[in-house]
Amino acid sequence: MRSARGWRLAGIRSALAAIVIACLATGPALAQTTVRVSGWGGTDVAIVEELLARFVRPVVEPQGIEVVYEPIADDFPTYLFNALSAGTAPDLFYVDIFWAESLMRAGQLEPLNDYLADSSVLSADDIIPELLDAFSLDGKIYGIPKDFNTLALFFNKDLFDLAGVPYPDENDDWNTLADKLRRVSALGPDIYGLALQPEFARMGALAFATGWEPFDEQGHTNLLDPRFVEAFSWYTGLAADGTGVHPEDVGQGWGGGALVTEQVAAAIEGAWLLGFLRDAAPNLPYGAVPLPRHPGTGQRGNLIFTVAWSMNSASQVKDEAFQVLEALTSPEAQQWVLERGLALPSRAELADNPYFQQPTPEAQANRIVFLGASDGFVRPFKFLDYGGSWLDPINAAINSVILGEQDAETALAAAQEQLDLLTGR
Amino acid sequence: METVAQTAPAAGRPRPVLDPAAAARRRWARAALIYVLLLAFSLLFVGPFLFAILSSLKDNPAEWPPRLDPPQLNPANWRAAWRLGKAGGGSGLFGQFAPGAVVNFDVTYFVPEGRTPHPPEVTISRRVPGAGIGAVVPDAFAADYAIVSEVVETARKPAEGGVLVTYSFTIRHDGQGPAVDRLPLDLLVPIGQTFHSATLAPNRIERLGRVQSWNNITPGLVPYVFHNYNRVFNENYSRTTGKNLFLAWIRNSLFIAGVKVLTTVIIASMSGYALARLRFPGRNALFIFILFSMMIPGQVTFISNYLVLRDGVFGISRLFGVDTLLNTFTGLIVSGLCGGSAVFIMKQFFETLPRELEESARIDGAGPLMTYSRIVLPLARPALGAVAILTFQGAWNEFFWPLVALTAPQDKLLLTVGLLNLRRAYGAVALDWGPLLAAAIISALPIIIIFLIFQRYFVEGISFSGIKG
């Protein structure tokens, strides 16, 4: 009895002790200016931690700036929007171009023009102009792009060799490329030329090559524009004659996965494919070339996917935060990121970096993707502040036509009807 | 129809006597039906979990069509992994490629008639992982220290339509460099010559059959069979603190769940007793209020709770020199000290205890506190067990609130939120679902173990309250 009570008291005591300890185990007191930096988790955590340790802390710590890095596990935009409304958002954070515009318009991001004008390290001219434009609104710069991706045509050399077809090259236009792909797909009933991911994030690049713009001056979208219809028909038409295939028909969720099955000769992807290939198919003999030119305009189109470092407009330590931003996007930091093949950084001068001269397929593919940002009709992957609701009708149309559920005309008319509701007639 | 009439005799009529053989048949048929149904249901519920465990062992858990016999489950490969791990200079359980390693490797190809057999071209490749911390800070490469011997033909055996040719080669460590975790291998043969077998099954066949590729030919048993599990533990450490993140997440979850169990058991039993036995004004209103708190979903109150934590519970935390309780364990614990359902369970239980016990205690001169601690609490062990286990399970699996209230730093995350981090690290970048699946299985283990040991309390918890959790 006594021992049972003793145990019980000990239990209660240890519980109280645990609570007290938990109460005491809290963050350290502020000693100097702290700049909080945040982005999403995953591989980025290791990259940013390395950047902070190698390039940022050595520069800013002597000036009494402490950098605290708070990566968010996942679903970063939700976290950020919540934290901004609650006033707990970090001083510097990632902003993806896809949801940047709503933050810019809401005044949550600090315009950086004045800081850039005063800076000796970072100037607006250093950054690839297409990227900087993507984060600018009404002449104000709301973010310094840290890295980016564009689309390129990745292909499996084995299948082209087997079919005796010359590899795709940078001179291909839509017709010559379709011809090559068709000849490869003739290898067998299970072999296809191109993985047709049913998304505007792929097909949109082709639409831009025709000179089509996603929005006119009034902000309306016209999918029935003959130029858009031409791109749409070319892309979905590849499925109709068996040259292209929906990735799900080869048991995969995306173009990169389809490429790895060795049943599909080519896929339109960005440099994100390279990390996947390293693990999933380290011996795949792949090449990358720019997307084909439109036969009429003679131009390529492309989409820019990019992420910037932006500053919280409510930050209490803006000048210090900008110093951290300078160090994060310094030439040395960006070169380090590039040379490890981690991402394609945003400084224009890096186009001449020796990394791109290496003969490895990975460096060459990265070079093609890097150059894609400044070649032809390039638009950021951003649709005013509509985001996914603008993309969904178009994606649904592409998907249904590739699957043969609808013809192009019906699908586009339905999508246009939905976009009319969204963007106005 | 007839059977119904037979088993449910009308009143007044004599019950028809059944032929014993028919009765036995029917009994057996009924038992068989019950067993088939139970088996079907348990398969339905356990099947996905077993399949997840199976998939977590595979190189590519998302493979299609899924194989039920991955090489990781083949005992021949276990023996090979053990032997090769030792040959590589590590132990049989955990292999490596260390100075002094002499790794003999055999591979057999099928060569169709009329073709000349070609020895494979052996490459030890420099592979950088596509995702995770290894992509940023690569380890040493075995390729820099490996010396590959000449490839020699060691056997030739006729087979249907051709011959089976076996080649052997040896990979040595040059003795200068460090011990390396992995020894990747690629073999290239001309098209038409097909892979038949090898000392260890390859991880993938590439280039239309021409390339056989191994991630690591000196794995040792554990990294071979539990490849993804091994990666979860090895590849997740914090660059700044050097701490193993996955272990830290498990520790955090255990700590929070443990503290919550303690606080809940204490608070729920005391308040449950008070509500069940003590008479005081507003008792019913209070109980209804507690019930009401159970009916509000967390999503409704999380914004105000978040703001309360942000301001340190109305500034109280400032007394301890802390500005905010966001991103602290304290905040997480304070916001989940005790749930209404635990109070409810305890109250319901105390009401079933015979009053006479407490009355006799009172006659002996015990006050409410003494009665509670000496008489009631020892009797309440079943209910306390149920509350403790349900609380532990709830706290261990809790996801939404920790995701909101504890977002940084990385080594303070709870396991559920950490899993989300793995999804981002492996799944979103390289569509490499293995480590995530392995981590999810690990996170399910404590609950399964607790369930197996304390099944009784789970069931009691449900019978006390009529609800779960």
Per the CB < 8 Å rule, is A88 touching B324? yes
Q: Cα dist. B14→B10, B17, B19, B453 in Å? A: 8, 9, 15, 50
Structure token digits, residue A152: 């390129």
B 194-223 near A (Cβ less than 8 A): 204, 206-208, 211, 213
**From B64, B263, B322, residue closest to A26, measured CB to CB:** B322
Structural element, H or E, at residue A194 = strand A192-195
Q: What is the mean pLDDT of residues A382-396?
A: 93
Per the CB < 8 Å rule, is A281 touching B429? no
Gyration radius from chain B CA atoms: 32
Q: How many residues make up chain A in this entry?
A: 425
Q: What angle in degrees, to the nearest 10, is found between the helix axes of A200-209 and A388-402?
A: 90
Per the CB < 8 Å rule, is A73 touching B424? yes
Are A33-148+305-357 and A152-304+379-423 in the same CATH fold? yes
**Is residue B228 within 8 Å of residue B54, measured between CB atoms?**
no
Residue A188 phi/psi, 5-degree rounding, is -175, 170
Provide the pLDDT for residue A385. 87
Does the model's pTM come out above 0.90? Answer: no
Chain A interface mutation, best of B421, B423, B433, B436, highest count of A Cβ atoms under 10 Å: B421
Q: Which residue has the tokens 């304390």?
A: B454
Question: Alpha-carbon distance A409 to A415, whole Å?
Answer: 10
Q: Which CATH superfamily is domain A152-304+379-423 in?
A: Periplasmic binding protein-like II (3.40.190.10)
In this model, does residue A340 exceed pLDDT 60? Answer: yes
**From B135, B373, B409, residue closest to A70, measured CB to CB:** B409
Q: Quick: pLDDT tens for A141-158.
A: 999 999 999 999 999 999
Chain B hits for A86, CB-CB cut-off 8 Å, are 306-307, 310
Structure token digits, residue A222: 């016209």
The DSSP letter of residue A107 is T
Burial class from Cβ neighbours inside 10 Å (0-12, 13-18, 19+) for residue B170 reads middle
Burial class from Cβ neighbours inside 10 Å (0-12, 13-18, 19+) for residue B347 reads buried
Minimal CA separation from A151 to chain B, in Å: 16
Chain B interface mutation, best of A3, A47, A74, highest count of B Cβ atoms under 10 Å: A74
B414 touches chain A (CB under 8 A): no
Q: Which residue has the tokens 């303690």?
A: B262
**Is residue B389 within 8 Å of residue B342, measured between CB atoms?**
no
Instruction: State the average pLDDT for chain B.
Output: 88
Per the CB < 8 Å rule, is A341 touching B128? yes
Chain A hits for B373, CB-CB cut-off 8 Å, are 5, 8
**Is residue B358 within 8 Å of residue B376, measured between CB atoms?**
yes
Question: Alpha-carbon distance B394 to B396, whole Å?
Answer: 6
- Residue B313: CB atoms within 10 A of its CB come to 16
pLDDT grade for A424, boundaries at 50, 70 and 90: confident
The DSSP letter of residue A119 is -
Structural element, H or E, at residue A44 = helix A43-51
Structural element, H or E, at residue A145 = strand A144-149
In this model, does residue A3 exceed pLDDT 80? Answer: no
Per the CB < 8 Å rule, is A4 touching B378? yes
In this model, does residue A335 exceed pLDDT 60? Answer: yes
Question: Alpha-carbon distance B313 to B315, whole Å?
Answer: 5
Gyration radius from chain A CA atoms: 25
**Is residue A292 within 8 Å of residue A174, measured between CB atoms?**
yes
Q: Which residues pair with A302 in a beta bridge?
A: A378
B17 touches chain A (CB under 8 A): no
Burial class from Cβ neighbours inside 10 Å (0-12, 13-18, 19+) for residue A133 reads middle
In this model, does residue B3 exceed pLDDT 80? Answer: no
Per the CB < 8 Å rule, is B321 touching A29? yes
pLDDT grade for B460, boundaries at 50, 70 and 90: low
**From B206, B326, B410, residue closest to A45, measured CB to CB:** B410
**From A11, A73, A282, residue closest to B213, measured CB to CB:** A282
CA atoms within 13 A on the CB side of B209: 11
Per the CB < 8 Å rule, is A23 touching B424? no
**Is residue A210 within 8 Å of residue A280, measured between CB atoms?**
no
Chain B hits for A280, CB-CB cut-off 8 Å, are 60, 130, 430-432
B237-246, B259-268, B273-282 — most confident range: B259-268
Q: Using CA coordinates, name the residue in chain B closest to A274.
A: B130
**From B333, B413, B425, residue closest to A22, measured CB to CB:** B333
CATH of domain A33-148+305-357: 3.40.190.10
Number of A–B residue contacts, CB under 8 Å: 182
Structure token digits, residue B292: 């009401």
**From B188, B306, B413, residue closest to A86, measured CB to CB:** B306
Per the CB < 8 Å rule, is B129 touching A278? yes
Lowest mean per-residue pLDDT among A258-267, B176-185, B430-439 = B430-439
Chain A hits for B125, CB-CB cut-off 8 Å, are 282-283
Per the CB < 8 Å rule, is B239 touching A14? no
Q: Using CA coordinates, name the residue in chain B closest to A337.
A: B136
- In SS3 terms, chain B reads as CHHHHHHCCCCCCCCCCCCHHHHHHHHHHHHHHHHHHHHHHHHHHHHHHHHHHHHHHCCCCCCCCCCCCCHHHCHHHHHHHHHHHHHCECCCCCCCECCCCEEEEEEEEEEECCCCCCCCEEECCCCCCCCCHHHHCCCCCHHHCEEECCCEEEEEEEECCEEEEEEEEEEEECCCCCCECCCCEEEECCCCCEEEEECCCCCEEEHHHCEEEECCCCCCHHHHHCHHHHHHHHCCECCCCCCEHHHHHHHHHHHHHHHHHHHHHHHHHHHHHHHHHCCCCCHHHHHHHHHHHHCCCHHHHHHHHHHHHHCHHHHHHHHHCCCCCCCCHHHHHHCCCCCHHHHHHHHHHHHHCCHHHHHHHHHCCCCHHHHHHHHHHHHCHHHHHHHHHHHHHHHHHCCHHHHHHCCCCHHHCCHHHHHHHHHHHHHHHHCCCHHHHHHHHHHHHHHHHHHHHHHHHHHHHHHHHCCCC
The DSSP letter of residue A252 is -
Chain B interface mutation, best of A20, A79, A263, A283, highest count of B Cβ atoms under 10 Å: A283
Question: Alpha-carbon distance B190 to B117, whole Å?
Answer: 9
In this model, does residue B133 exceed pLDDT 80? Answer: no
Model ipTM over 0.85 = no
Minimal CA separation from B144 to chain A, in Å: 18
pLDDT grade for B2, boundaries at 50, 70 and 90: very low
Q: Quick: pLDDT tens for B171-220.
A: 999 888 899 989 999 999 998 899 999 999 999 999 999 999 999 999 99
Provide the pLDDT for residue A13. 54
Across A177-195, b (16+ Cβ under 10 Å) vs e yields bbebbbbbbebeeebbbbb
Q: Using CA coordinates, name the residue in chain B closest to A20.
A: B330
Provide the pLDDT for residue B462. 60
Burial class from Cβ neighbours inside 10 Å (0-12, 13-18, 19+) for residue A32 reads exposed
**Is residue A184 within 8 Å of residue A160, measured between CB atoms?**
yes
Q: Which CATH number fits domain B245-465: 3.40.30.10, 3.30.420.40, 3.40.50.2000, 1.10.3720.10?
A: 1.10.3720.10
**From B64, B186, B423, residue closest to A74, measured CB to CB:** B423
Q: Which amino acid is at A396?
A: A
**Is residue B287 within 8 Å of residue B363, measured between CB atoms?**
no
Per the CB < 8 Å rule, is B431 touching A46? no
Q: Which amino acid is at A241?
A: D
- SS3 label, residue A377: strand
Q: What is the mean pLDDT of residues B295-300?
A: 88
- SS3 label, residue A195: strand
Q: How many residues make up chain B in this entry?
A: 469
Instruction: State the average pLDDT for chain A.
Output: 91
Minimal CA separation from A147 to chain B, in Å: 15
**From B239, B310, B413, residue closest to A86, measured CB to CB:** B310
User: CB-based contacts of A22: which residues, under 8 Å, 6+ apart?
Assistant: B259, B329, B330, B333
Minimal CA separation from B137 to chain A, in Å: 8
Chain A hits for B129, CB-CB cut-off 8 Å, are 278-279
**Is residue B461 within 8 Å of residue B394, measured between CB atoms?**
no
Per-domain boundaries in chain A? 33-148+305-357, 152-304+379-423
Per-domain boundaries in chain B? 73-221, 245-465
B321 touches chain A (CB under 8 A): yes
